[in-house]
Structure 1
Amino acid sequence: MSEFPLVSEEEFRKVGEFLYRRTGMVFAETKRYYMHRRIAERMAELGLADFAAYFHRLRVDSDGEVEQFINAFTVNETYFYREDHQLRCLTADLLGERMRAKPAGQSYRLWSVPCSTGEEPYSLALWLLENWPEVDTHEIEILGSDIDTKCLEAARAGIYGARALMRLTPALVGKYFEAAGPDRWRLVADLRDSVQFSPVNIVDPESVRAHGTFDVIFCRNVLIYFDDASRRLAAENLFESLAPGGFICLGHTESMSRVSPLFEVRRFADAIVYQRPRGKAHG
């Protein structure tokens, strides 16, 4: 990619503003080389040698370039059973509380957003099967959503390498995965079918609203990429996506208390989570 000069200060600003308006993600000056590399990859893919030509293509969204551009900038580091203390909290406390708050016979909706390549929502399904004795007596809907459409394609395929499975025991891998090539394993069909996937932009109210309401949301390690304004907007959107009394789990470095006053802090034995108080509406 040496044939592409580093983007100028003005070009860096334009791209950063465009990405921010579309996703809420902020890339500081220290990320200029990272952004340049991603832009250069897209320009090479399209056979363009001029930044102005590429930016024009981006602004008019020629051939769906905005989607490809956003895909290039998302961060997709994850693995099965990540932050499993929250999974323990889910089955030990959160689902029981939601059961007591809902009429018998209603389904329970869990949302992993962003879901990356599927490890986190599939972890929810696997954990429930292995650790919640009541799993067969309730209807559970698990949805995984992400702004990165390539990640969603990979999630639906359900094929993973050794690093993604590093927290799983050999017994679990043997039970729920099939060999899919050298050092590759694919989730069994029943488990893949138990999770649905969809695109979402959590700073876009309409995009979030279209997914309905949930009992528990796992939104981990994404708010750290936003500025204060985008964090507040995302928090408000997620608040509206929770059923009254529903819970949201964030990454271990994130705190909803520093983002929004809408949520109540709940401390359980295994995790600190945030709850939409019953009867409390946004605004």
Structure 2
Amino acid sequence: MRDRAASIEAENSLTEANFSQFHDFFYRKTGITFDSSKRYFVAKRLARRMQVTGHTRFNSYFSFMRLEPSQIEFQALVNEMTVNETYFFREKHQFQCLVDSILPEISARRPRQPITIWSMPCATGEEPYSVALYLMEYWPGLAQHDVSLLASDIDTNVLKAAREGYFNDRSLQYVPPELIRRHFKPSGPGRHRINPSNREVVDFAQVNLLSPPPRFRRRDIDVVFCRNLLIYFDQKAQRQAVENLADALRPGGFVLLGHSESMSRISDLFEVRRFPDGIVYQKPFEDQ
């Protein structure tokens, strides 16, 4: 009862001014924005962190979180505020487009050269592992190319889960049974773990797209899966994110967005490409 009362008090302590203060801080740090309709969502998650850290008032928690030298609590708050629901082969047509259209075009342009694919935000790993499975099962060109799979997220908790590679039946509901048998091992009722050989092909790292660390400030990416991230940014942050994507891609590289996202509304740095299995965005070649 005491814990519940503390939680209610913490939720009620988030005034409109507090919400605005938190919103501005979180936006500056992550690029993620919450409009007023998300105030209850924010209050609930702030209340959880306040309860864990022993704070019953927003102002004391906010000061503690911002000034903590290790920034461990800030990362815990980021983990609390981000939503990471996904499953294998989500928007399957895009994976089909990858193996049927995008990779053959890249392979023809750069035969037998290394190819790098980046999945972000990768959440608990369903998307990058889906890419790996599609390449192994459906792309004959894999034998002729050294393919690197990068995966990143801002949430350290989901990255830990992704590296461990445990998934429930819901995450695997669209994976054909024969692929589950080949690439996963049972790990309990309704639970499966992806095989070590599959886990080892994906390089996971914590990355904030708005300020990527030096190792991800690169210019050799061929394909980026950046689905359902830009919808959490305002226009300014979207433009910055898209500029960083363009900078990371090779000339002629591709970006795949979520079905509700459109690059043309954000930036003119990419050209629209229409393939049989989907619409994607391509960075122009330097001589264009």
Alignment TM-score > 0.5, same fold: yes
8 A contact 2:209–2:244 mirrored in 1: yes
The equivalent position to 2:8 in structure 1, one of 2, 10, 13, is 2
The equivalent position to 1:179 in structure 2, one of 173, 186, 201, is 186
Aligned sequence identity (%): 45
Post-superposition shift, 1:53?
A: 1.4
Distance 2:215 2:33 in 1: 20
The Cα offsets for residues 139-196 of structure 1, whole Å up to 9 and x where unpaired, read as: 1100110011111000000001111001111111111111112211100110011111
Aligned to 1:86: 94
The equivalent position to 2:280 in structure 1, one of 263, 273, 277, is 273
Post-superposition shift, 1:100?
A: 2.1
Matches within 5 A, 1:45-124: 45-63=52-70, 64-102=72-110, 104-124=111-131
**Is the counterpart of residue 216 in structure 1 residue 223 in structure 2?**
yes
Distance 1:208 1:223 in 2: 22
8 A contact 1:116–1:152 mirrored in 2: yes
Gaps of 5+ in 1: none
Q: How many residues align?
A: 280
Aligned to 1:227: 234
Give the aligned residue type for 1:240. D
Distance 1:211 1:37 in 2: 38
8 A contact 1:125–1:191 mirrored in 2: yes
8 A contact 1:81–1:120 mirrored in 2: yes
The equivalent position to 2:36 in structure 1, one of 26, 29, 33, is 29
Distance 2:23 2:106 in 1: 41
8 A contact 1:256–1:274 mirrored in 2: yes
Distance 1:232 1:280 in 2: 23
TM-score by length of 1: 0.95
Distance 2:198 2:124 in 1: 15
8 A contact 2:122–2:151 mirrored in 1: yes
Distance 1:99 1:274 in 2: 18
8 A contact 1:209–1:237 mirrored in 2: no
Gaps of 5+ in 2: 1-6
The Cα offsets for residues 90-132 of structure 1, whole Å up to 9 and x where unpaired, read as: 1111111111222x44210000011011000000000111101
Aligned to 1:20: 27
